[in-house]
Every structure is written in C-alpha cells, then in structure tokens.
Amino acid sequence: MLTAKREDLLAACTLAHAAVSTRPLMPAYHDLHIRTDAGPNIYVTGSDTDTTVQARVTPTETTGEQAVCLNGAMLKSILSACRGEFVKIEVRKTTAVVTCEDPVTSSRHEMTTQPASAYAMAIPADWKHH
C-alpha cells in the first residue's frame, strides 16, 4: 500500500505516460510501472522500449517494497477526477484499489494489474534513479 499527494502522483503519471506508446509491442508497455523502495520513494515509469521516462514521488506512507503495472490512461483519469488531497493505492494479487477521499466524498476504484515482471525489459536492474 502507498499513500501520496494526489497532485504529485498525477504529475508523475502524466510525465511518465508521455513515453508510453499508443501501439505497444507488449501489453505491459501500455501501462505505467509503479514501484516503491525502502527509501521511501515511489517511482512511476513509462516506456515504449525506445524511450523510458521515470518520475519520483515522495509518499506520505508506504508499506514496504512493491511493484505493479497499472493502466496509465485509467490511472490518470481517476487521479484527475479525484478532489481529495491524498490518494491511496492498495495492491492485491491481480487488482489494485485506488481510494480518494475528501471532506465531502470518497471514491474507490478497482483496476486490473499486470505482473511487474512483465516490465523488466524497460527497467534494467542497475538503472540509476535521479
């Protein structure tokens, strides 16, 4: 699970999604790769195998290291529609639950995930993060 400021996560998703091809070679390359580390940092990566863009977000809360591939267009749409200050993403086996809350409303969206291992070609293990 991770919690971050909605504006920061939306900006990172928008930036990384610019590298995603509209006609990807592999299904996972239509998605954004989101992972957390022990830093704690959230890395949002988009790639079309030729160009890779990665943005870093400082979370307000994380629960360990995890990685998931989420549909970039859908995630951007959810984050844009959300009016709360914070967004929480809880990763389950084959789904991720995106929750946005503000003083008036609360929204909860379930998204199907791709295994993060399907994205391994675009993100070499020794890639330096800036």
Q: Are strands 2-5 and 61-62 parallel, antiparallel or unpaired?
A: antiparallel
Reference 54, options 68, 34, 37; nearest CA is: 34
ω into residue 40 within 30 of 0, thus cis?
A: yes
Give the relative orientation of helices 72-81 and 6-17 as an angle to the nearest 10 degrees: 150
Give the pTM. Answer: 0.83
Question: Which of 54-58, 89-93, 103-107 is predicted least confidently?
Answer: 103-107
CA 66 from chain centre, in angstroms, equals 11
List pLDDT tens digits, range 101-117: 877 778 899 998 877 77
